[in-house]
Amino acid sequence: MERFSGRVALVTGASRGLGRATALRLAREGADVAVNYQSRRDAAEEVCAEIRRLGRKSVAVQADVSDLDAVAQMVRQTRASLGPIELLVNNAGTAGGGSLPMTDETEWRRILGVNLTGVYNVCRAVFLSMLKRRGGAIVNVASVIAMPGLPGHSAYGATKAGVVGFSRCLALEAAPFNVRVNVVAPGLARTELLKSLRKTTFDMLLAQVPMKRIAEPEEIASVVSFLLSDEASYITGQVLAVDGGLTHG
């Protein structure tokens, strides 16, 4: 199914994990895709090569999303190479921190800069163009940690809760212009965050998942694709947990 034929997507943090799976999913469904990366150009170029093998255009665009000037350059490069951005996935993120006494100001600012300020930076860089074109769709990736919380992840949880609040407000601003903004909140998934969890924490969380397994990146990517598509044309300002029933309450 080519949901996105002739449309341009930008996926941040797309050189690996969920971002990679999302970039490839959008390409399979017809989109030309800009693959953002921070440092692993080789991995980003591999994703671009896979996208081109699918018959779509692709470009690797470097930017630290916490840097507004770098983001502006990334967006300019994407437009010059592929065209106006109609689909945006803010997936770039970082884990870290720990319990509050172990999270100093430098670590707090680092996590905040990527996970929350980064979403603001990229949305701001494409938002006006979408409004002028009176069309577009944005999916911001949060986490179920933003809802029930998780000990030892206060900085991460705060940023992901911020993404939810930011996205809901942005959706209201965008709705009159036919621009939609939604949030996907993954639960336990095979991503970099999973590697940061202690085994005891992982086992505790897995025991609470009714489906008794973790998600594959492709399972999250399929939901992102749906929310970006015209099949979700009347959905905006929503947070969709993809977590095997973990936050069913």
**Residue 69 token pair:** 């000037």
Domains and CATH numbers, the chain: 8-188+217-239 (3.40.50.720)
Please give the radius of gyration of the chain, using alpha carbons only, rounded to the nearest integer: 17
How much is the pTM? 0.93
pLDDT at 193: 66
pLDDT at 196: 66
What's the number of CA atoms in the CB half-sphere (13 Å) around residue 56?
28
**Residue 224 token pair:** 């992102």
Strand order in the sheet with 239-242: 58-62, 32-37, 8-11, 87-90, 136-141, 179-186, 239-242
φ/ψ of 162, rounded to 5, equals -65, -40
pLDDT at 155: 87
- Check if 234 is active-site: no
pLDDT at 235: 98
pLDDT at 158: 92
**Residue 133 token pair:** 């074109």
**Residue 212 token pair:** 């008794």
**Angle, CA of 76, 80 and 83, to the nearest 5°:** 100
pLDDT averaged per 10 residues in sequence order, the chain, 249 residues: 92 96 98 96 97 98 97 98 98 81 82 96 98 97 82 83 97 98 90 71 79 91 98 97 80
Residue among 37, 120, 156, 234 flagged as catalytic: 156
DSSP string, 12-39: TTTTSHHHHHHHHHHHHTT-EEEEEESS
